A and B are shown apart, each in its own frame.
Chain A
Amino acid sequence: MRRADYVIKRVAFAIITVFVAITINFFLFRVLPGDAVRNLSRVPRASEEFRHSLEVQFGLDKPLWEQYLIYLRELSRGNMGVSFSNQQPVWSNLREALLNTIPMATLGTVMAIVIGIVTGVLSAWRRGNTSDHVSTNLAIAFYSFPTQWLALVVLIYMSAWFPSHGMTDPFLIDPTPWEHFVDVMRHMALPSLVFALTLYGEYTLIVRSAMLETLGEDYVLTARAKGVPQRRIVVRHAFRNALLPTTTLIALSLGYIVAGAILIETVFSWPGIGNAVYQAVTERDYPMLQGAFLVLTISVVFFNLLADLLYFRLDPRITE
């Protein structure tokens, strides 16, 4: 297969996926039982006409297919609409939330990758001995704990040392940039830690098995026979090849950073995209939901595509 063909095919597939997701997102939330304006119109002093006026304002009085066409038209112009619940543009709501989520989730993911690779390599290296058993079992345990449970446990036991909610201390008056940075990092500590704990196990297991596979290869045996030092064998020969599946996994899991934030952000009241999605679901805020799911979809599809392309670049066998 020619390289260009492969790339074009992958990109086209990604675009179709996004389009299908947009359509499903549009109808999915409208099929959910529940009503977008009911919440908003049910305030004690509201007039009876208020509810209807909201429906008209939001275009909910139009037939579904017309709403869908309007949605597509506006989306193609880059307009994601206006949030039902706070009347502000969806994109500005989302951008704010995303900018809050990305640093926390990135820190957590980087920690997970580092811990996962180190423990995975060590496990493979010391295969079969106690440290391998401990590390592998821990990895499986953290991988299987429900995220919100782990988050609550961390919160209860560690909030004496680190802030348990929010992103900054709002009462820190006129902080210097350094103080602000420290403050944000302190707030980020627990949610990022939970992020890292829930993710790292997967890396450990994949890195370990990839390492074991490469350590069993003939060229490793040859290197041993040649008297190459063990450390060099592991790092130079085995680890580099074991990175192949790891890279894919990293790219794939980056796509879920945003999605994975929902449970963690809810526990730690982190004002990010997960929190925004949670609130939008309870309020049936269709434009926010569509916008947030579009962002989720695009991030997953994008990183999948990236993984495909990276793999293509890293592993010449694919072109064969």
Chain B
Amino acid sequence: MGARRRPVTYLVLLPVLVLVLSACSGTSEEGGGTTGAGGVKQGGVLRLGTSSGLTSLNPFVGFNQDDYSVWMYIYPSLLQYDTTTSSYDYMGGFAQEWEQSTDGLTVTFKTVPNATWSDGEPLTAEDVAWTFNMIKQYEKGPTGAWAGSVTFLDTIEATDDNTVVATYEQPSGTALFDLGMTMILPPQVWEQYATGDGKAIRAFPNEPEGGEPLVGGGPFILTEYKKNDIALFERNPTYYGTKPYVDGFGLQFFRDEDAMITALKTDQLDAINEIPPTSVETLESAGMEVYKGLGLSLRDLIFNLDPEGQQRPELLDPQVREAMEYAIDRDAIVETAWLGYASPGSTIVPEGNNAGGVDWHDPSVQPLPYDLAKANEILDSLGYTRGSDGIRVAEGRPMEYEVVFPLDEAGAGDRAFRIMQQSFKEIGITLIQKRLDTNAAWNAMYDRGHYIFDLAMWDWFPAADPDFILAVLTCDQWGNWNDTGYCTEEYDKLYKEQKSAVDPTERQQIVYEMQQLAFKDRPYVILTYDTRLDAWSPKWTGFVPTIQGIFNNFSTQSLSLVHQA
């Protein structure tokens, strides 16, 4: 995951769910490949391939998507998303019941009684309060990676063994997500590091040692870890929820995607979390199951809207940006660049981005049609006449722009670029691709307080809750997540309103309004939304694929319900 946008997408953590699992399975209890009462085969070890890999098992250090998914499976979390429903309603994890007061200032969770950590220590509401208090205490430093979990949080305490009460300084529309989808850590392991300046919190590797698994409380425990190679998980016998069918799973890291695809075809792997569009046909013809669903990611063309940094003033004109959107043939990009495994994009909240029972994507926002005549008409009306080479001239310079292109967009992104480059030529605009290593791309876009590029192409892998992707366009994120130099009072005001809107329906309306505003102001043209592609061997069944794939940090359902066919 590269620097920018890929870094962790989101979050949500873990535990599993008592309710849903028990409803779905009815059987449990292990056995090496035996068939349970419900006809589901028990046992076996699932071999899961990934090309991303883990950076660190320490939640305050790791930053890859896979890191977050691992924490989901090995640590308890108060809530999860029910990924078996399309609206991703919240469901109980370590919390069985939860309630947010109508003023939005208090949230109460009732946790599962008599739960234990994998080392036998009691797992109680006390541990929940301890975790959040620790994050809060060190949020400006060592625990900064999880500071968002304690936004507006005033106090959090266990009023008894099974009750946690959190109070807020101001109403929080994301409190359930913030508290519910954060990992709960075992204080018996972490307390010794959370002292003094807290530096030891990040220095602790949190890896299995001396043959002892990591102390955890999720459906699986991590028993073995070899950097850049594998992580092995076994079913957690002390887990408070319904036990998974499999005895365990292994996460294997591949540097090379072709090698990973080959491994699945040759039975060296059972499943792959995210495959490239180009491998769909080869895997299907090899008899593998390929999941194709909506994905939580988008590809965008970015305009630099920083009035002081943008050297090409015409790009600050909304009409020019509108004309450019008319010159983008999204259907061609979907068909040619993505081999059909994408859909045309419109707003910054991807289609299918449901979370907590709410559909956050505003379907009323529709992309502009591909219409070169219209694009030319707008540019003509602005007086940007064509030079002898057919390229228009604006503000005394040819309309020739560099497009910063990070290498994590290579492949489909290159093809999309070429499609745009061709059609832009038709409207008298030249695009020049500036390919850069992912880390260097950001430096080519932002320097000492200002955005310095013309155009860029990149992607976002947002979180389930839309708060994150909406924050990206706020002034607060200038120089950080904000990659466009877009900064308006109107948008920022709406952002703050949604953040404090406790009623989901009210919040949804504000979120829709923000999408409409962002579409109109056009700091981005959203080109496409990815189709999520995962693959597995027909020897396995029962995965719960999500917009984030079969191994995700929305819930622990997928690997709890998977079993041998």
Contact = CB atoms under 8 A, between A and B. Distances in A.
A280 B444 CA distance: 20
A8 interface: no
Contacts of B427: none
B33 to A, nearest CB: 14
Interface string A44-68: 1111111101100100000000000
A88 interface: yes
A47 B148 contact: yes
A85 interface: yes
A205 to B, nearest CB: 30
Contacts of B98: none
B550 to A, nearest CB: 19
B539 interface: no
A121 to B, nearest CB: 36
Given A46-B148, A166-B229, A39 B439 contact: yes
Contact of A39 (B7, B147, B230, B260): B7
Contacts of A312: none
Nearest to A152: B258
Interface stretch (B88-96, B134-142, B448-456): B134-142
User: Which of A44, A57, A271 neighbours the largest number of chain B CB atoms within 10 Å of its CB?
Assistant: A44
Name the residue among A51, A54, A160, A164 with the largest chain B CB count within 10 angstroms: A164
B230 A86 contact: no
A12 interface: no
Interface in B107-160: 139-142, 144-149
A311 B436 CA distance: 45
Contact of B263 (A34, A51, A164, A279): A164
B11 A44 contact: yes
Nearest to B139: A47
A38 interface: yes
Contacts of B148: 44-47
Contacts of A266: 255-256
Interface string B423-465: 0000000000000111110111000000000000000000100
B438 A282 contact: yes
Contact of B224 (A46, A170, A275, A278): A170
Interface in A22-55: 32-35, 38-51, 53-54
A165 interface: yes
A265 B436 CA distance: 23
B227 A33 contact: no
Given A38-B442, A51-B480, A271-B227, A155 B8 contact: no
Contact of A50 (B3, B147, B468): B147
B4 A33 contact: no
A87 B205 contact: yes
A90 interface: no
A268 B56 CA distance: 22
A41 B256 CA distance: 26
Contacts of A267: 255-256, 259
Contacts of B205: 86-88
Contact of A38 (B9, B146, B439): B439
A315 to B, nearest CB: 43
Contacts of A40: 61, 63
A116 to B, nearest CB: 27
A284 interface: yes
A147 to B, nearest CB: 13
Contact of B480 (A48, A54, A166, A269): A48
Nearest to A34: B439
Contact of B145 (A50, A88, A279): A50
A301 interface: no
Contact of A271 (B145, B229, B438): B229
A269 B230 CA distance: 11
Interface stretch (B246-254, B288-296, B485-493): B246-254
A136 B262 CA distance: 33
Contacts of A201: none
Contact of B11 (A45, A86, A165, A279): A45
A250 B58 CA distance: 43
A46 B147 contact: yes
Interface hub of B139, B149, B229 (most chain A Cβ within 10 A): B229
Contact of B3 (A42, A51, A152): A42
A119 B10 CA distance: 56
B255 A265 contact: yes
A165 B255 CA distance: 9
Contact of A87 (B11, B203, B253, B256): B203
Contacts of A34: 3, 437, 439-440, 442-443
B55 interface: yes
B480 A35 contact: no
Interface of A: 32-35, 38-51, 53-54, 57, 82, 85-88, 93, 96-97, 152, 155-156, 159-160, 163-168, 170-171, 265-269, 271, 275-276, 278-279, 282-284
Give the 9 A-B residue pairs with the shortest CB-CB distance, closest first: A50-B144, A45-B148, A47-B147, A34-B439, A33-B440, A271-B229, A170-B230, A53-B141, A33-B443
Given A38-B439, A271-B227, 6 more contacts: A38-B3, A49-B141, A159-B259, A159-B263, A171-B47, A267-B256
7 contacts: A32-B440, A46-B147, A53-B140, A93-B227, A164-B262, A276-B228, A284-B439
